């Protein structure tokens, strides 16, 4: 029997996002309705330009919809103060950006440690936790390398380690395995499954069918609209 999906961490209700610049406008999302169940691994797939990054940014409160409502833990995001939203982003959500968003002149370790510094952890805690996360993505040997000295896949893994370091309740990941070989991708997905098993909610974008098999729920988006929703039951 399919398990009934539990509580929702995030809900999007009739969300539209129009980007305007000058007299041009792009309707990136059109009346999107979706729910991200807590403790599940949710995958968003769709062609380039279909609105995937836009959805993740809106879910994480990095961007606001032009119309529609976004709920985080049952409360509408518009009702959170800017201060509360910043706190949620810092403490509850780990972002893996499509472009990594790493500080090039910092080492891998320094990049991963930075969110802990912002949250005022002790040096000992910071060092332990940052190394632990680098180890989880197989990069402890590269800890002292600067970002520009790392390969694309290594940089991507630093981005994943940084997203994990605060032990977030939710991970929003934009093609986190895009630069990784098959074996490394599978390791990252096993790590994500393990985290979901511990109650972490994960929402990630991917194009890779092998990666999708790890999902509990797959949304397909085309041209700013969710066209399909598929629940996967794992043995």
Ligand X SMILES: Nc1ncnc2c1ncn2[C@@H]1O[C@H](COP(=O)(O)OP(=O)(O)OP(=O)(O)O)[C@@H](O)[C@H]1O
Residues near Mg ion, by CB under 5 A: 52-53, 98
Q: What is the DSSP letter of 1?
A: -
49 binds, among ligand X, Mg ion, none (CB under 5 to 8 A by kind): ligand X
The residues binding ligand X (CB under 6 A) are 19, 21, 26, 28, 46, 48-54, 98
Give the shortest CB-176-to-ligand X separation in angstroms.
Answer: 13
Give the shortest CB-141-to-Mg ion separation in angstroms.
Answer: 30
- Is residue 178 within 8 A of residue 157, CB to CB? The reply is no
Give the shortest CB-72-to-Mg ion separation in angstroms.
Answer: 21
Give the shortest CB-207-to-ligand X separation in angstroms.
Answer: 7
- Is residue 57 within 8 A of residue 19, CB to CB? The reply is no
Q: Which pair of tokens denotes residue 23?
A: 């007299």
Give the shortest CB-135-to-Mg ion separation in angstroms.
Answer: 28
C-alpha distances in angstroms, 131 versus 22, 28, 59, 83, 166? 46, 38, 29, 30, 13
Q: Which pair of tokens denotes residue 200?
A: 């972490």
- Is residue 32 within 8 A of residue 64, CB to CB? The reply is no
Considering beta carbons, is residue 50 or 111 the nearer one to ligand X?
A: 50
Considering beta carbons, is residue 136 or 217 the nearer one to ligand X?
A: 217
Considering beta carbons, is residue 94 or 224 the nearer one to ligand X?
A: 224
Give the shortest CB-62-to-Mg ion separation in angstroms.
Answer: 13
CA separation for the pair 103, 227 (Å, rounded): 37
Give the E-state strand segments of 38-187 in sequence order.
Answer: 41-45, 67-72, 75-76, 93-96, 170-174
Considering beta carbons, is residue 22 or 120 the nearer one to ligand X?
A: 22
Considering beta carbons, is residue 98 or 225 the nearer one to ligand X?
A: 98
206 binds, among Mg ion, ligand X, none (CB under 5 to 8 A by kind): none
185 binds, among ligand X, Mg ion, none (CB under 5 to 8 A by kind): none
Burial class from Cβ neighbours inside 10 Å (0-12, 13-18, 19+) for residue 32 reads buried
Considering beta carbons, is residue 19 or 182 the nearer one to ligand X?
A: 19
């Amino acid at each position: 029997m399919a398990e009934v999906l539990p509580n929702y961490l995030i809900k999007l209700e009739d969300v539209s996002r129009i980007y305007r610049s000058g007299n041009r406008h792009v309707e990136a999302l059109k009346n999107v309705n979706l729910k991200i169940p807590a403790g599940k691994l949710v995958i968003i797939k769709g062609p380039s330009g279909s609105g995937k990054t836009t959805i993740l940014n809106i879910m994480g409160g990095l961007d606001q919809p032009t119309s529609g409502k976004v709920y985080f833990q049952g409360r509408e995001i518009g009702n959170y103060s800017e201060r509360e939203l910043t706190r949620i982003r810092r403490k509850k959500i780990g972002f893996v950006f499509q472009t990594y968003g790493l500080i090039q002149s910092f080492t891998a370790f320094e990049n991963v440690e930075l969110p802990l510094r912002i949250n005022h952890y002790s040096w000992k805690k910071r060092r332990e936790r940052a190394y632990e996360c680098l180890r989880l993505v197989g990069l402890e040997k590269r800890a002292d390398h600067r970002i520009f000295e790392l390969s694309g896949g290594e940089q991507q893994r630093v981005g994943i380690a940084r997203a994990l370091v605060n032990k977030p309740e939710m991970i929003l990941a934009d093609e986190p395995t895009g630069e990784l070989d098959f074996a490394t991708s599978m390791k990252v997905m096993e790590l994500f499954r393990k985290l979901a098993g511990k109650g972490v909610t994960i929402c990630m974008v991917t194009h890779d069918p092998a990666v999708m098999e790890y999902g509990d729920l797959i949304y397909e988006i085309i041209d700013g609209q969710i066209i399909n929703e598929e629940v996967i039951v794992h043995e």
